[in-house]
């Protein structure tokens, strides 16, 4: 059995966390500064389990969270994350009422039902529809047609949305209401996918089913391709993350709102969080740039007292003292990361922040003592970074990786033939003006004099979250296979680290070749 044991020759080089990090106290290390050593393994990547628990009653099937940023997570992203087994945190750069309805959308999401299909009006021209498709880069061209009151008038089918008909009115080209296949919400029943699947089998050649209410108002659209994809996915390894009532899980960021006297506006905060809880929110995140502060601690205490069972995420911190403080205030999961984010300038502007692996190690030891979990927030650019982060944390929070996805808020823009989406820091001047100034300790209406701690940027459009997560999960499972770790707990126990030289870093990426295709 010698093969399964560690060798004495390895031990001085490849060290477990509690030896490696204390031996590197004089330097802050981040993902690319270290690499993980392989270990004897009987585990195939596909047999690894990625479940993680962030708090009592808050379980994910994959350890991935989309960041509470206004160019990353609204309901569409949160739905996609939960469907893949993860979690989305809805940002707070929007009116409180809007955030409540974003949460409701996730909680009431019926898988396979496009609840707000793009609709067009009968008096529009086919040319207008073509322009809309071009402008929004839609990958489809069939649209329900509704009147001003939202009543279904017909269906504009893709085969008439052609430049030759550009001058014709939609009303002349549509398939009229009587010929459009519809179903009522009630008829969809408890398993809408099974019901729609049956419908498509019974109606040869029909690929779209519209959902209406008793007054013929449009309430959604089900497509055969979605139904087929979902039926396939039901056999998938990673199930959607759902609550006890089978609804998708959803988180929301909340801000430490202050009144005119600069005190925490408890009444308003409790009203807002009460509204979120009523709508079924599974976790709230008190998101600030500096979480080890009286203001954030007070906010967490207020929420913990008022909602004893509500899972609370709080942050951000990079010290053990910060973790201990927030845990004592009542937080269940603590965000670790100050300045590692791809759009962050905190380290440059304020000169503070700790490279992520060192911060995670220090925080993880305090978290274990306090029995809270930690979330590695920011700086992740590849699946290997996630594997490294998960050796010290319960889940990762990513912004940049998801910001180019179709499900992220914002339109696609074309520059020199390439497609991009906007991605901006919540501490950028533009985002702070929209509401996130408090997160960075500034006034509601920041002026140019305020030092922004984030930039505005673009991310290349990268397709669906499903695709991106499939790549990331594949990488995580591969890393676990190399370490012989069946689950994330074993990954944390087994990880052994070594520092990497700059030459070692160069060696790690493709080199000395002409790259024809990137790995992803």
For 195-332, list the strands marked E by DSSP.
Answer: 208-212, 218-223, 251-254, 283-287, 312-317
The span from the CA of 272 to the CA of 281, in Å, is 12
Cβ-proximal residue to ligand XMP, closest one: 454
Cα separations (Å) of 90 from 248, 308, 387, 403, 408? 13, 21, 25, 13, 11
Q: Which of 363, 439, 462, 496 is catalytic?
A: 439
CB 329 within 8 A of CB 309: no
Cα separations (Å) of 384 from 1, 100, 200, 476? 30, 35, 42, 7
250 labelled catalytic? no
Nearest distance from C-beta of residue 290 to ligand XMP, angstroms: 10
Contacts 24+ apart (CB under 8 A), 439-447: 439/255, 439/287, 439/288, 439/289, 440/288, 440/289, 441/288, 441/289, 441/290
Nearest distance from C-beta of residue 436 to ligand XMP, angstroms: 8
Identity of the residue, 74 or 197, whose beta carbon is nearer to ligand XMP in the bound complex: 74
Identity of the residue, 63 or 399, whose beta carbon is nearer to ligand XMP in the bound complex: 399
279 labelled catalytic? no
Identity of the residue, 307 or 423, whose beta carbon is nearer to ligand XMP in the bound complex: 423
Residues that bind ligand XMP (CB under 6 A): 67, 69, 316, 337, 339, 341-344, 346, 377-380, 397-400, 425-428, 453-454
DSSP state of 3: G
Q: Which helix (H) or strand (E) holds 76?
A: helix 75-83
For 312-401, list the strands marked E by DSSP.
Answer: 312-317, 333-336, 373-377, 395-398
The token pair that represents 181 in the structure block: 């296949």
Nearest distance from C-beta of residue 401 to ligand XMP, angstroms: 6
Nearest distance from C-beta of residue 329 to ligand XMP, angstroms: 19
Nearest distance from C-beta of residue 68 to ligand XMP, angstroms: 7
Which residue, 391, 396, 293, is CA-closest to 336? 396
The span from the CA of 487 to the CA of 302, in Å, is 35
Identity of the residue, 397 or 495, whose beta carbon is nearer to ligand XMP in the bound complex: 397
Identity of the residue, 295 or 341, whose beta carbon is nearer to ligand XMP in the bound complex: 341
Identity of the residue, 104 or 394, whose beta carbon is nearer to ligand XMP in the bound complex: 394
CB 344 within 8 A of CB 425: yes
Nearest distance from C-beta of residue 481 to ligand XMP, angstroms: 25
Q: Which of 250, 279, 329, 344 is catalytic?
A: 344
Length of the chain: 520
Active site residues: 344, 439
């Amino acid at each position: 059995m010698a093969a399964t044991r560690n060798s004495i020759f390895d031990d001085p080089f490849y060290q477990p966390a509690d030896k490696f990090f204390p031996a590197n106290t004089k330097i802050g290390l981040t993902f690319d500064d270290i690499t993980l050593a392989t270990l004897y393994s009987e585990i195939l990547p596909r047999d690894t389990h990625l479940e993680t628990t962030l708090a009592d009653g808050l379980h994910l099937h994959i350890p991935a969270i989309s960041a509470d940023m206004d160019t990353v997570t609204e309901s569409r992203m949160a739905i996609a994350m939960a469907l893949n087994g993860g979690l989305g945190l809805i940002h707070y750069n929007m009116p409180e009422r809007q955030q409540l309805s974003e949460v409701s959308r996730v909680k009431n999401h019926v898988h396979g039902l496009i609840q707000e299909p793009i609709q067009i009006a009968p008096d529009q021209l086919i040319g207008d529809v073509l322009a809309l498709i071009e402008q929004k880069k839609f990958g489809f061209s069939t649209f329900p047609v509704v009147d001003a009151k939202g009543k279904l008038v017909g269906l504009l089918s893709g085969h008439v949305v052609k430049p030759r008909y550009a001058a014709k009115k939609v009303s002349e080209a549509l398939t009229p209401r009587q010929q459009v296949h519809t179903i009522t919400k009630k008829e969809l029943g408890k398993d809408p996918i099974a019901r729609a699947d049956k419908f498509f089998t019974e109606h040869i050649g029909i690929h779209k089913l519209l959902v209406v209410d008793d007054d013929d108002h449009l309430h959604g659209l089900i497509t055969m391709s979605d139904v087929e994809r979902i039926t396939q996915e039901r056999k998938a390894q990673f199930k959607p993350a759902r609550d006890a009532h089978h609804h998708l899980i959803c988180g929301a960021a909340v801000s430490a709102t202050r009144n005119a006297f600069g005190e925490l506006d408890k009444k308003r905060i409790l009203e807002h969080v009460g509204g979120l809880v009523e709508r079924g929110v599974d976790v709230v995140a008190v998101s600030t740039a500096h979480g080890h502060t009286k203001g954030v601690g007070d906010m967490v205490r207020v929420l913990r007292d008022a909602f004893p069972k509500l899972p609370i995420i709080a942050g951000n911190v990079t010290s053990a003292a910060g973790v201990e403080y927030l845990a004592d205030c009542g937080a269940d999961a603590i965000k670790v990361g100050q300045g590692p984010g791809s759009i962050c300038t905190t380290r440059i502007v304020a000169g503070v922040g700790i490279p992520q692996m060192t911060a995670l190690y220090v925080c993880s030891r305090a978290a274990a003592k306090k029995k809270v979990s930690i979330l590695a927030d920011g700086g992740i650019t590849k699946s290997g970074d996630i594997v490294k982060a998960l050796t010290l944390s319960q889940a990762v929070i990513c912004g940049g990786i998801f910001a180019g996805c179709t499900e992220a808020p914002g339109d696609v823009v074309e520059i020199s033939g390439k497609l991009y989406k906007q991605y901006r820091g919540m501490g950028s001047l533009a985002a702070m003006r929209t509401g996130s100034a408090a997160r960075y300790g500034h006034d509601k209406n920041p002026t140019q004099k305020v030092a922004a701690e984030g930039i505005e940027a673009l991310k290349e459009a990268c397709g669906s979250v499903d695709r991106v997560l499939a790549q990331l999960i594949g990488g995580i499972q591969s890393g676990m296979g190399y370490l012989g770790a069946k689950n994330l707990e074993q990954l944390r126990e087994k990880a052994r680290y070594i520092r990497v030289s700059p030459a070692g870093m160069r060696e790690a990426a493709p080199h000395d070749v002409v790259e024809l295709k990137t790995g992803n």
